[in-house]
Chains A and B, each alone.
Chain A
Amino acid sequence: MKHVLAVLVENKSGVLTRVAGLFSRRGFNIENITVGETTSPGISRMTITVEGDEMVVEQVMKQLHKLVNVIKVSNLSHEPAVMRELMLIKVRAEAQTRSDIQQIVETFRGKVVDVSLDSMIIEVTGNDEKLEAIKLLLQHYGIRELARTGKLALLRGSKVTREA
């Protein structure tokens, strides 16, 4: 099962290495990881997607918590949460396929952000299934390059993941 963890860390040099190193050395699998600033100065938020059963994830969370620079670890998978990821896709697009592609993009509420004679860049946001679905469709036209941000997540409602 996939678990999405929100990890609040002190924004100090080496903290990403500490987190990444922990995963490799304990044999945990990171599916993806994103890092960004929060509203509190000096504190960053990591969103980490890990694959594993309950015991593995509990161990991951405890080990993360042991790192001195980690302030809080919460598992968002057991609670209602909004999860989003942004993907940029450079797809092969000649004059005759361009409008087909545009239609697909509209259906998925994506955006065309760049066009050249034989390619387009498409920006699309959503959850796993949606991104996989559009990727599958566009593969038909030929994906030349693809970049993803990794997952971001926030709890639904007024509940928050905060330090202490």
Chain B
Amino acid sequence: MVIAALEQEQVDLVFGYPGGAVLTLYDELYRSGLKHILVRHEQGAVHAADGYARVSGKTGVVIATSGPGATNLVTGIATAYMDSVPLVLLTGQVATPLIGTDSFQEADITGITLPITKHNYLIKDIKELPDTLSEAFYIASSGRPGPVLVDIPKDIFEMEGRFDYKLKQDIPGYKPTVEGHGGQINRAVKAIREAKRPVIFAGGGVIISGAAAELQELAERCRIPVTLSLMALGAYPGDSPLFLGMPGMHGAVCANYALSEADLIIATGVRFDDRVTGKLESFAREAKIIHIDIDPAEIGKNVAIDIPIVGDVKRVLQGILKKVQPGDTGAWLKRIDEWREECFTCAEEQPENDVLTTPYVIREIDRLTAPDTIIATDVGQHQMWTAQHYCFRLPRTFISSGGLGTMGYGFPAALGAKLASPGSTVFCIAGDGSFQMNIQELATAVTHNIDVKVAIINNGYLGMVRQWQELFYGGRYAYSSLQGNPDFVKVAEAYGAKGLRASTPGELRKAIELALATKGPVIIDCQVVAEENVYPMVAPNRPINEIIMGSERK
């Protein structure tokens, strides 16, 4: 019945790991011929499904067994929840008579995942199964997407029942607002026309709702500069003259200055995360804020909003575009160009002394890959440097754990990304720390021959932790050194993948070219200088125009 539901939902691929409680399901899966990717740890399965969902826009599906199988999903579920990624997670549970008796491999996974799922279910009767599964897919993918978990006891898998499947459900307490309020749209149009210093601040919601084209039209027609949150990189071409870069803690100088001095912020599909706003009291004090989001709870959560518009970003932007007239932004754009000069002077280009710096590695990958290349990252310095130095031009080409900041996300997510878009080059930019958190998925990449390239930014440290220790903890590097790292080339080879090493710009270029020419997974161990810091930087809970630049250090 579960497999039939997956077929109805046009699922073409599931990620999972078998175990006692899901043996019956796996037996059916085996016979159905539905494609299954066997991972080496359940966390890898969720991240892979997450990467698949972010690239394809479809719902990712994961299967895990009861108890430890289910609890191993938790980090991945929380990651997807924070970044609004549609997933359906099917977990096995012990048989219904055993629930609540602390039986073997029993864990209350609906209880555990309550705060990190959009919704979850424990099936107690086979009759509930078809409607629950269709509800799960509907809830996961509609409105503000998110992970939905369905916990199914072993004895339910073994039962037979009537399969009457309705594709969409009418759920009394779940009615996402799609169309924006007409009056509010008119107010927004008026505010845009009157603004002298407007900024568009777009977030992941723009990518999820497929509104990149509308965003671009609004920016270009009204000559409004655009800043994109980490989650939105690619939603607006990174090489456009109106693009300011990412705002916030490691944001571009001109993006932070622009937000701080704007008189109008058009916030679309963003949630004003603390990493963007810095100290809330000083955030955008001069600006009127229009906030467009499908989730009403995001409006006014962190920042007071002048013109709230609840609705799907794409539809609301279409509504605005029908009526909007450009204001006079010429002087403002000139001002921004002056700030931009400052931005570019701080971007270090060619490293000295024939060593590798991380920004150089990232720019080299950018130079040698096509614009539709998908970049997945882990979390830390390399993630911020990727956001700063790689030029993203297309939506759904940057895959990264933004909200939860999950180390170990990048590599399995890259595998999912490649399966979603087999025609694109997929490059994972990983940290030496992060990569080791899901290094076991090398086996998944090799056995399924998933053609993913990994650049491990190897500085021998938990770089971001070390940077904070240097700046805020008196240079005491408490346990942030990764002494004892394995030889990543040998690790790759041991798994049957190709391993390369680069420690100079010349070696790097050759390694990337060779990796791109090789079919199948390739690991490049990029040995970069050890103690490098990500700049610009805004200290936590400081106003975002108080920027620490690299040159000011020490």
* Interface residue ranges, A against B (CB under 8 Å): 9-10, 13-14, 17-18, 21, 25, 55, 58-59, 62-63, 65-71, 163-164
B114 adjacent to A163 (CB under 8 Å): no
Instruction: Please list the 7 inter-chain residue pairs (A to B) with the smallest Cβ-Cβ separation, ordered nearest first.
Output: A62-B297, A68-B119, A71-B173, A68-B174, A70-B173, A71-B172, A25-B115
Q: In the complex where A17-B114, A18-B114 touch, is A62 in contact with B172 (Cβ < 8 A)?
A: no
Encoded as 1 (CB less than 8 Å from any A CB) or 0, chain B from 88 to 124 comes to: 0000000000000000000000110011001100100
| A residues in contact with B119, CB < 8 Å | 67-68
Nearest Cβ in chain A — how far from B309, in angstroms?
Answer: 15
| B residues in contact with A70, CB < 8 Å | 173
Number of interface residues, chain B, beta carbon within 8 A? 18
B297 adjacent to A68 (CB under 8 Å): no
CA A18 – CA B173 in complex, angstroms? 14
* Interface residue ranges, B against A (CB under 8 Å): 110-111, 114-115, 118-119, 122, 139, 171-174, 295-297, 299-301
| B residues in contact with A63, CB < 8 Å | 297
Partner of B171, one of A17, A55, A65, A68: A68
8 more CB-based (< 8 A) A-B contacts, given A14-B122, A62-B297:
A10-B172, A14-B114, A18-B114, A55-B300, A59-B297, A59-B300, A65-B296, A66-B297
CA A67 – CA B146 in complex, angstroms? 13
B172 adjacent to A58 (CB under 8 Å): no
CA A2 – CA B393 in complex, angstroms? 50
CA A164 – CA B297 in complex, angstroms? 19
Q: In the complex where A9-B173, A68-B174 touch, is A21 in contact with B115 (Cβ < 8 A)?
A: yes
Nearest Cβ in chain B — how far from A13, in angstroms?
Answer: 8
Q: List 13 A-B contacts (CB under 8 A).
A: A9-B173, A10-B172, A10-B173, A13-B122, A14-B122, A17-B111, A17-B114, A25-B115, A55-B300, A62-B296, A63-B297, A68-B118, A70-B173
CA A9 – CA B174 in complex, angstroms? 11
CA A70 – CA B111 in complex, angstroms? 18
Nearest Cβ in chain A — how far from B285, in angstroms?
Answer: 18
CA A25 – CA B174 in complex, angstroms? 21
CA A70 – CA B295 in complex, angstroms? 15
B302 to chain A: closest residue by CB: A59
Partner of A164, one of B118, B122, B172: B172
A66 adjacent to B110 (CB under 8 Å): no
B148 to chain A: closest residue by CB: A68
B114 adjacent to A58 (CB under 8 Å): no
CA A9 – CA B111 in complex, angstroms? 19
CA A63 – CA B296 in complex, angstroms? 9
B139 adjacent to A68 (CB under 8 Å): yes
- Most chain B C-beta atoms within 10 Å of own C-beta, residue among A9, A13, A58, A62: A62
| A residues in contact with B296, CB < 8 Å | 62, 65
